[in-house]
Amino acid sequence: MTAILTAEGVKFSYPDGTPALDGVDLLFDAGERVAIVGQNGSGKTTLVRHFNGLLRPTVGRVLVEGRDARDRHVAELARSVGLVFQDPDRQIFSGSVRAEASFGARNVGLRGEALERAVLHALEIVGLAGELDTNPYDLGFSRRKLLALASVLAMGTAAVVLDEPTTGQDAPGVRLVQGIVGALAAEGRTVVAISHDMRFVAETFERVVVMHEGRVVLDGSPTDVFAQSAWPILRSTHLEPTFPALVGTRLALGATPTEAVFVDALAALEARLGPDDQRC
């Protein structure tokens, strides 16, 4: 595998002296789907902003596609790492959906037919191809989030970083985001997502990194991270496994049973229980 994003001994403190990262070592490969979880203030967003040069380490270094990020300007890093903010209104400023979806791709050098193809394909993926001339602020919040995602998708970066991608999304929107994550990984692009949605994390990502007070405290598959043996660590970070993960572990299904497996397992459990054992 090829390392796309690497953090080596990264420490970071804000100008007022507030420490945010304390010796982070991580490596994300091409095509890997990674979720970063933790309470507010655990260092998640601070970390990912190092990947596109918005922040620079106080100590340690960050490598993007094998090159030290300190040797590359933010505009150059944008060709490798696309970041979708939690609040789409922080990155939407164009007067039409087409113009907004074109902005990032144009900045990384796409022109003419190549630009048009990339933009239309990205908008089709997120379901906004029919809104080319619509003002972004005539879209609802959840669709503005998808527009911000489309703008990054059109850039074709090696890594895509998503900050709370399911916030404001209904169930179909969450499924759409899940499908996009899978498609990007299948193309060999690295997907890193910050999320508080543990069910989304468990169902979508092959690797989960848990952060607490600027450090990585757990790093493994959802099965490992949500396993019963890891619960004390999760609870110390004020995170709780999802209910399906808890029941799945109890029923020896693995940590993230699908809905169908979950229902079948509960039915099997009820069948094993005698009438006197079942309770409402």
The segments of the chain whose pLDDT lies below 50 read 249, 251-252, 277-280
- In a domain? residue 14: no
Instruction: Collect all residues with Cβ–Cβ distance below 8 Å to 199 and sequence separation of at least 6.
Output: 242, 244, 245
- 95-149 pLDDT tens trace: 999 999 999 999 999 999 999 999 999 999 999 999 999 999 999 999 999 999 9
- In a domain? residue 185: no
- In a domain? residue 266: yes
- In a domain? residue 255: yes
Count of structural domains, the chain: 1
CA 241 – CA 262 distance, rounded (Å) = 15
Instruction: Collect all residues with Cβ–Cβ distance below 8 Å to 262 and sequence separation of at least 6.
Output: 244, 247, 248, 253
Q: What is the mean pLDDT of the chain?
A: 89
Instruction: Enter the pTM of the model.
Output: 0.86
- In a domain? residue 249: yes
- In a domain? residue 123: no
- In a domain? residue 64: no
- In a domain? residue 256: yes
User: Residue 253's domain spans which residues?
Assistant: 242-274
